[in-house]
Amino acid sequence: MGKISRLTPRRLLRICLATAIGHGAAFSALAQPAPGLITQFASDSVEDPSLLEPIFGPRPAINVEPVYYGEVFTNTKGGVSTNGATRYNALLDLPVVINFDKMDAPLPGRFFLLAQNTHGRGLTQDFVGDTLVLSNIDSGNNIMQVSEYWWEFPLFEDNVSVRLGKQDINTEFKLLEYAADFIQSSFGLSPSETAPTYPNPSMGVVVLNQLTDSLQFKIGVWDSLAEGGTWGFSGNNLHTVIAELQHTHALDGGQLPGSVEIGAGFFSSGDVNGESLPEAHGYYVQVQQYVFREFDCCDNSLQGLALFGSFFPRFGESGDIDRGIENSLVLGMTYRGPIPGRNQDVVGVGYAWAKLNQAGPNDEEVIEFFYKAQLTDFMSLQPDLQFIGTPSGIYPDSLVAGFRFEIAL
């Protein structure tokens, strides 16, 4: 989410918007996204060169920035099986941003569309059996779909913006910018949760209110449990509501950016395909903070050490909450520029835990370690190692090793 080190599927939107329109935000140059970063969109100074820039130009009114993610992972021990447990999995993102302000158009704001295709297959279902899902590009069954399409426009002198359309909840809510380079899904939002997120975003309305320079209030309402390959409507009369208050700050004279987010969610009850789903609610607290920087506040590279953490308990009328995920916790750290002369590389280690409502010990935990090497302005290579303790609470501890590459086309 200085060049942005690399995009995760959920961070892709912020980079596209930053390149297309440069909508100012406090920590935009952050590497990750900073996902979701913490504030909103990257600043005008952020560069994100791609192979197609000579064709479309650096900041056209219509911006197209395809990104290809490919990965190879092997389950070396434990889980469901290690027999033939090596697979290739890939995601092609095709985001399109139309900036109406740069066109002679009667509409204000911008329009965003994200088409996605996955091919290959991940390890989770057949070999590891984990609930949290070890790869954040694993869509289960392969998809070819328009995952997002929405219109965003400003109100009240740009202090408020409204976003209407099919969209991913993790673009703005429960977003850990400093954890965006992790491959494990639990450092974002796991597909095993009932939230309208990848690979099944849904129709929603989001309002973003910039209360002060450092304080933003967000609220959104979504159609629940829609299939990702549809227009975003489920027809089941279920809905998801989430609100978040985000405070951004910078310690040590402005050199160490960070944020604190407090949010709450509500999931309505109803019947889906003859199954009764209970009402549920939860809250979350997130903290993200740079604690060391190699350069002063005037440098936009944000080389240094960042810490993050999130706690997300859920409550409901029965144990059937979030398809088996009851409470979750993530903690971690990343260091950008760990080797002299490799200022865009990122190394990270993180821990994730989930209390499950399934069987066995009813706990699943993950320790992930990665090193992301930025090979060129548009290509990176990321070796990754994950220990997954008691996948789904019932399988033997698993050790997964592999790598991911990303190409901004």
- pLDDT tens, residue by residue, 324-336: 688 899 999 999 9
- The closest of 306, 172, 311, 175 to 251, measured between CA atoms, is 306
**Confidence check: pLDDT of 386 > 50:** yes
Strand 325-336 and strand 346-356: the pairing is antiparallel
Q: Is 120 helix (H, G, I), strand (E, B) or coil?
A: strand
The per-residue pLDDT of the chain, averaged, comes to: 85
Nearest to 25 by CA among 53, 54, 46: 46
- Lowest-confidence pick of 169-183, 227-241, 296-310: 296-310
Q: State the pLDDT confidence band at 39, using cuts at 50, 70 and 90.
A: very low
Q: How many whole angstroms separate alpha carbon 159 and alpha carbon 309?
A: 28
For the ranges 24-33, 43-52, 123-132, 286-295, the lowest mean pLDDT is seen at 24-33
264-279 pLDDT per residue, tens = 999 898 888 777 788 8
Smallest CA-to-CA distance from 151 within 138, 161, 140 is with: 161
For residue 40, what pLDDT band results from cuts at 50, 70 and 90?
Answer: very low
Are the beta carbons of 253 and 297 closer than 8 angstroms?
Answer: yes
Reported pTM: 0.85
Tokens of 368: 């992930």
Q: pLDDT tens across 193-215, in order?
A: 878 999 999 999 999 999 999 99
Q: 258 burial class (0-12, 13-18, 19+ CB within 10 angstroms)? A: buried
* Exposed/middle/buried for residue 376 (C-beta within 10 Å: 0-12, 13-18, 19+): exposed
Question: pLDDT tens digits, residue range 336-385?
Answer: 999 999 999 999 999 999 998 776 778 999 999 999 999 999 999 999 99
Per-residue confidence (pLDDT) for residue 354, from 0 to 100 = 93
Domains of the chain, each with CATH number or no CATH: 12-408 (2.40.160.180)
pLDDT of residue 402: 98
